[in-house]
């Protein structure tokens, strides 16, 4: 017995580190593509198109990755609830890392014609499947090793993968633009993608050293592992899955406007310097290293819904001031807009993992939470840059984009109110029985 208990603190730390490092690598890969889709890919893979059309097509390949995320959540969620969190997380890391590295050696349109954007799209699908299966496992591995009273904080650590991944991807692109200069658009952009090979090794080393979560182990010992978890969770918990997806509208859609579309809007529409915008996003992402776990912790004190709902409301209220600050073209005000926008995002993202995961029992949690979380990619994050680009093209104004953000927040707040409240209590009772 002593052998099982002694390493508890060590394993808890390992679980947090393994989850956070893994998600950081996954989001580095995913955000790196987003940045390239805004700045580089239109000219390299869609050079025959007019400016706005090329941007739309580039964001279209970006959207394909979002559309693939629920597929990844379904596949890896099923196996995560069947064989455990650890094994599936190793598979998602390999899939994402290899796909990203292959983008780094992909020939462009100038070399192989239309085969280039087709191959780019296929690799983006692999990225989407990988990151779609990653989130549920990493969050659960960390959360299920933590104490129930600190689940908001424990589940928020893997969420740090977003600001860390954003810092890493934006920072590497920024360094490469300085180092390679005019050659960045020719070959310098490939280096950040090829770095994924190194990151795979780091991630595998960390994840292979962590043990399976105690809660899933308890389910397995009690012979409560679901035979068809994906089918069962869709049949029994579909309202929770749908509300989990729609509650992210006020968080995910604005996030990809604040971090990806802003690069297109700032450089093409406002004439701002690309490097300056990358620096501002980098600063905002660094703030997120503090704000994400902070709001996760605050959700343990004040409640998930209260903190999350406040973030939705503030994002909606900031929709018009955000573009108003950008449109001044004043450096300090543009920086303020980007930093504040991501702080309001973090108010939702910090408690979000625990808010969604607690809605499902341990034996169905990977499938249910992962599917609900990733379905938002189809209705929120994926189409957001496309919709914003089209609005800008048609109106030559940011007003419609601000109203789009407000609309997403209204729907997200409605979903928050409709999320089943009974689930957390039921899950706690079920898990207590499994430990007896």
pLDDT tens-digit map of 368-392: 888 988 898 888 887 898 899 899 9
User: Which of 14, 9, 72 is closest to 366 using CA atoms?
Assistant: 72
pLDDT score recorded for residue 52 = 63
Indicate the pTM of the whole model.
Answer: 0.79
pLDDT lower than 50: segments of the chain: 1-7, 423-436
> Do residues 237 and 294 touch, judged by C-beta distance below 8 A?
no
pLDDT score recorded for residue 149 = 65
CB-hemisphere CA count at 13 Å for 37?
A: 30
pLDDT score recorded for residue 141 = 78
Domain that holds residue 120: 2-435
Here the CATH number for the domain that contains residue 88 is 1.20.1250.20
∠ Cα 51 52 54 (to 5°): 65
Judged by DSSP in three states, 74 sits in: helix
pLDDT score recorded for residue 339 = 96
**Cα–Cα distance measured from residue 118 to residue 71, given in angstroms and rounded to the nearest whole number:** 19
**Cα–Cα distance measured from residue 197 to residue 105, given in angstroms and rounded to the nearest whole number:** 12
Give me the number of domains the chain comprises. 1
pLDDT score recorded for residue 435 = 46
> Do residues 169 and 192 touch, judged by C-beta distance below 8 A?
yes
Q: How far is CA 244 from CA 124, 134, 303, 339, in A?
A: 24, 17, 17, 26
**Cα–Cα distance measured from residue 317 to residue 321, given in angstroms and rounded to the nearest whole number:** 8
């Amino acid at each position: 017995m002593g052998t099982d208990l002694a390493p508890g603190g060590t394993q808890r730390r390992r679980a947090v580190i393994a989850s956070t490092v893994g998600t950081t690598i996954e989001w580095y890969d995913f955000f790196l593509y987003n940045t390239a889709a805004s700045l580089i890919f239109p000219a390299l893979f869609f050079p025959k198109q007019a400016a706005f059309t090329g941007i739309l097509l580039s964001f279209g390949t970006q959207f394909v990755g979002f559309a693939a995320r629920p597929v990844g959540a379904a596949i890896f969620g099923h196996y995560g609830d069947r064989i455990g969190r650890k094994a599936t997380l190793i598979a998602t890391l390999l899939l994402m890392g290899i796909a990203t590295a292959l983008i780094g050696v992909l020939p462009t349109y100038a070399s192989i014609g239309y085969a280039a954007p087709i191959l780019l799209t296929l690799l983006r699908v692999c990225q989407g499947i990988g990151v779609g299966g990653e989130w549920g496992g990493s969050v659960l591995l960390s959360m299920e090793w933590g104490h129930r009273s600190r689940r908001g904080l424990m589940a928020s650590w893997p969420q740090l993968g977003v600001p860390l991944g954003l810092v890493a991807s934006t920072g590497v692109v920024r360094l490469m633009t300085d180092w390679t200069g005019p050659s960045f658009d020719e070959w310098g952009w490939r280096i950040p993608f090829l770095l994924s090979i190194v990151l795979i090794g780091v991630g595998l080393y960390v994840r292979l050293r962590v043990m399976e979560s105690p809660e899933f182990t308890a389910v397995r010992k009690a012979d409560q592992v679901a035979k068809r978890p994906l089918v069962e969770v869709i049949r029994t918990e579909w309202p929770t899955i749908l509300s989990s997806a729609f509650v992210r509208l006020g968080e995910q859609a604005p996030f990809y406007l604040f971090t990806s579309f802003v690069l297109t809007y700032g450089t093409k529409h406002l004439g701002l310097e690309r490097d300056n915008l990358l620096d501002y996003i980098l600063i905002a992402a660094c703030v997120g290293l503090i704000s994400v776990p902070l709001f996760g912790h605050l959700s343990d004190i004040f409640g998930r819904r209260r903190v999350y709902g406040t973030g939705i409301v503030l994002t909606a209220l900031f929709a018009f001031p955000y573009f108003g600050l950008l449109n001044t073209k004043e450096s300090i005000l543009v920086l303020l807009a980007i930093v504040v926008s991501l702080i309001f995002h973090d108010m939702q993202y910090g408690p979000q993992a625990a808010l969604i995961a607690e809605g499902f029992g341990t034996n169905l949690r990977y499938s249910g939470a992962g599917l609900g979380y990733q379905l938002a990619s189809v209705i929120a994050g994926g189409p957001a840059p496309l919709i914003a680009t089209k609005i800008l093209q048609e109106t030559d104004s940011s007003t419609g984009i601000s109203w789009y953000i407000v609309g997403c927040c209204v729907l997200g707040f409605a979903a928050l109110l409709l999320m089943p409240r009974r689930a957390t209590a039921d899950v706690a009772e079920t898990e207590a029985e499994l430990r007896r």
